[in-house]
Amino acid sequence: MATVIDGRQLATELNQATAKRTAKLATRGITPGIVVILVGDDPASLIYTRNKHRRAEKMGIRSVLEKLPADVDQATVMAAIDRYNQDDTIDAILVQEPLPAHLDGLAITNAIRPDKDIDGLHPINLGKLYANQPGHYPVACTPRGVMTILRHYNVELAGKNATLVGRSILVGKPLAAMLDNANATTTVVNRYTPNLSKVTRQADILVVAAGSPHLITREDVKPGAVVIDVGINRLPSGKLTGDVDFNDVRDIASLITPVPGGVGPMTIASLMAQTVDLAEWRQHGQE
């Protein structure tokens, strides 16, 4: 029977460590600041944004919500990014996805100052990650949270096969780079990959970020594998479920994340930790 990863407990510990860091910065008169730019009134985005805001304020991070109407034009969004790029009280800029289709999301991402790019989506930060460059730069927070989980549970990565189901720029791609940088042998599959099960059964570490409820069942998992479920899917009943059939898989995996209570809490805790990183790195740059 697998050990069930307690993402909530780990997130609590990380949040405590982050709050200590903000308290230390406060003694020097520094308050880390994050702005979340939210376009439109997508209900899920509103909930995510509100959660981030509450969490930030609880731990001594100043949180600004820039709410723009659904029909806002590109120039107005670009002007907001420019304003926060230059605002010394803001260390982290987050543009909440999804954006309305009429906006050029790529141009918006590319306009964010790389040292304020909390989602690690700017090509400069992605390039540094892919090149495994040393030094400080932000990375995507969900993959960062997954790496923290793997480290905390002492999962050996070097020489192991890590397979990622899903290759989005926010989850699968950057996490594949992080696992590769940690010397795992990485395989990334997508919705066009034939015979998914044959590939996933090779995985010592299986990370699933497809957005497809219960895509992975026990037939797809190597006995003893570490299974990380990034998926968050809302069933018609309103219940949240992952991309992995947890009850089916838990007795053959060695370690498994539940949904909810696994990767989700670690994403938001990692976002807070990285906001404080950005504030600290900017301070060091100015000293």
Compose the 134-163 pattern: x for residues touching ligand NAD by CB under 6 A, - for all others: --------x---------------------
Compose the 167-196 pattern: x for residues touching ligand NAD by CB under 6 A, - for all others: xx-xxx----------------xxx-x--x
How are strands ordered across the β-sheet holding 92-95?
62-68, 33-39, 92-95
Q: Pick the closer one to ligand NAD by CB: 190 or 202.
A: 190
Catalytic status, residue 52: yes
Nearest-5° angle of CA 116, CA 118, CA 120?
105
Q: Pick the closer one to ligand NAD by CB: 80 or 164.
A: 164
Number of amino acids touching ligand NAD (CB under 6 A): 25
Q: Pick the closer one to ligand NAD by CB: 32 or 242.
A: 242
- Taking CB under 6 A as the criterion, the residue among 10, 14, 162, 165 binding ligand NAD is 165
Q: Pick the closer one to ligand NAD by CB: 184 or 244.
A: 244
- Taking CB under 6 A as the criterion, the residue among 267, 272, 278, 279 binding ligand NAD is 267
258 binds ligand NAD (CB under 6 A): no
Residue pair 76/68 in contact by the 8 Å Cβ criterion: yes
CA distances for 121 relative to 105, 111, 217, angstroms = 11, 11, 31
166 binds ligand NAD (CB under 6 A): yes
Query: Which residue ranges make up the site for ligand NAD (CB under 6 A)?
Result: 142, 165-168, 170-172, 189-191, 193, 196, 209-212, 215, 230-233, 263-264, 267
